[in-house]
């Protein structure tokens, strides 16, 4: 496959990042958990799951809050503000001209409480707070205010590809010279409606989550937030900013096959990966690692596994970090992009835990159960969602 004949106007640097996830409340904790292969999936504590098949999720520890948060904030604002503040501390001179953030549910649990109060004809004084903190842009506004940043925002809600779409869109804006510096990422929190919905679809598992394993039985949900600061390479170099990694490619594809199931041929994931490689002017032989979408559902892993195997063979190591923390929906692509940056920077492959038996339907080099130390130059990060939304990023070592 040949790359298209064009030269991007500006190289795009990642100068800082911040992460809140079930694996930790900052990048240091997340890095340690990734290296150790920590299983952060625990029994759900936020609401009653006694009538559900699945009873576990990846949850940010309940006692943690963002220092200085408004007591009226939704938990989404805590995640978002903390990830933004960590990114800000990693590059104190960074000033975003725009924020591009992916999410799927906003402050859904506040929306649930408001709806129940309406149905019950109750008028608790918290109703106004619930409604004001429910909107998807509220968490972003709170995070920007906590950092003292004044920037317009764009919210992307495109199922489970949202976080990757946000990073990819920000990358395109900086590369094209439309913006010098863009804050991008994603956030989502556990909510009862979403949890019960996935349980009703029988997409969630009551067992361990086992991406790419022959005996996988479904996903577990997760939550969290990740933010990355993107800036034109020349601008970052001029001001002496730290450069953690470079974004070089972004590819998207929509297969429009089914409301919740991907096309069984894997054509959507394959085209997204091919387009990301072409956008980066790279070939399959240039990629050293793939952070897979890897939800551990029967259909997703079959189609993604088939697409990776047909495009890359079994040469490239593959892992799904969802095996450790669950599927954080709109935040997943941003969190996994941040994890991929950490892997590139620190020279290791995050493990795919709970992996026991290969699926004979596709041949992959799965990073099974333990992290691998290795030098990485280039990696691919995948996100695929309901409705056939497919997105891939190419990230390269600085």
> Which residues are annotated as catalytic?
160, 293, 327
Within 36-171, strands assigned E span 41-43, 56-58, 98-102, 153-156
Q: Collapsing DSSP states into helix, strand and coil, what is residue 298?
A: helix
> Cα–chain-centroid distance for residue 216?
21
Considering only CA atoms, which of 302, 315, 188, 169 is closest in space to residue 230? 169
Dihedral (Cα; 299, 163, 10, 241), 10-degree rounding: -130
Neighbours of 259 (CB within 10 A): 7
Q: How far is CA 396 from CA 280, 282, 311, 372, in A?
A: 10, 11, 19, 18
Instruction: Provide the b/e sequence for 198-207 (b: ≥16 CB within 10 Å).
Output: bbeeebbbee
Closest to 164 in 3D by CA, of 241, 273, 299, 43: 273
Return contacts of 176-179, CB within 8 angstroms, 24+ apart.
176/9, 176/10, 177/9, 177/10, 177/232, 179/97, 179/98
**Helix, strand, or coil (residue 390):** strand
User: Is 332 in a helix, a strand, or coil?
Assistant: helix
């Amino acid at each position: 496959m040949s790359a298209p004949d064009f030269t991007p106007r500006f190289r795009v640097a990642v100068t800082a990042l911040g992460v809140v996830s079930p694996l930790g409340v900052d990048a240091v904790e997340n890095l340690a958990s990734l290296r150790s292969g920590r299983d952060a999936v625990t029994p759900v504590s936020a609401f009653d799951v006694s009538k559900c098949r699945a009873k576990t999720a990846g949850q940010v520890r309940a006692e943690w809050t963002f220092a200085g948060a408004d007591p009226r904030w939704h938990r989404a604002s805590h995640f978002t503000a903390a990830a933004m503040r960590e990114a800000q501390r990693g590059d104190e001179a960074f000033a975003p001209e725009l924020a591009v953030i992916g999410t799927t549910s906003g402050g859904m649990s506040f929306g649930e409480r408001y709806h129940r109060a309406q149905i019950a004809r109750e008028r608790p004084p918290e109703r106004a707070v619930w409604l004001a903190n429910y909107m998807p842009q509220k968490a972003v506004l709170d995070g920007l205010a906590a950092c003292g940043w004044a920037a317009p925002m764009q919210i992307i809600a495109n199922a489970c590809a949202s976080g990757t779409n946000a990073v990819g869109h920000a990358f395109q804006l900086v590369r094209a010279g439309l913006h010098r510096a863009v804050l991008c990422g994603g956030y989502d929190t556990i909510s009862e409606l979403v949890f019960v919905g996935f349980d009703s679809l029988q997409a969630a598992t009551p067992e361990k989550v086992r991406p790419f394993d022959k005996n996988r039985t479904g996903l577990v949900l997760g939550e969290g937030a990740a933010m990355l600061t993107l800036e034109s390479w020349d601008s970052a170099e001029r001001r002496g900013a730290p450069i953690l990694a470079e974004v070089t490619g972004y590819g998207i594809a929509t297969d429009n096959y089914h409301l919740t199931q991907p096309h069984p041929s894997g054509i959507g994931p394959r085209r997204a990966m091919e387009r990301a490689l072409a956008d980066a002017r790279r070939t399959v032989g240039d990629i050293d690692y793939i952070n897979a979408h890897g939800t551990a559902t029967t259909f997703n892993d079959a189609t993604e596994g088939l697409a990776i195997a047909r495009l890359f063979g079994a040469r490239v190591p593959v892992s799904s970090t969802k095996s450790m923390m669950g599927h954080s929906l709109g935040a997943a692509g941003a969190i996994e992009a941040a994890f991929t940056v950490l892997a590139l920077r620190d020279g290791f492959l995050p493990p795919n835990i709970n992996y026991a038996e290969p699926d004979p339907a596709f041949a992959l080099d799965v990073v099974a159960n333990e992290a691998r130390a290795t030098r990485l130059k280039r990696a691919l990060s995948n996100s695929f969602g309901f409705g056939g939304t497919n997105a891939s990023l190419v990230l390269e070592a600085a």
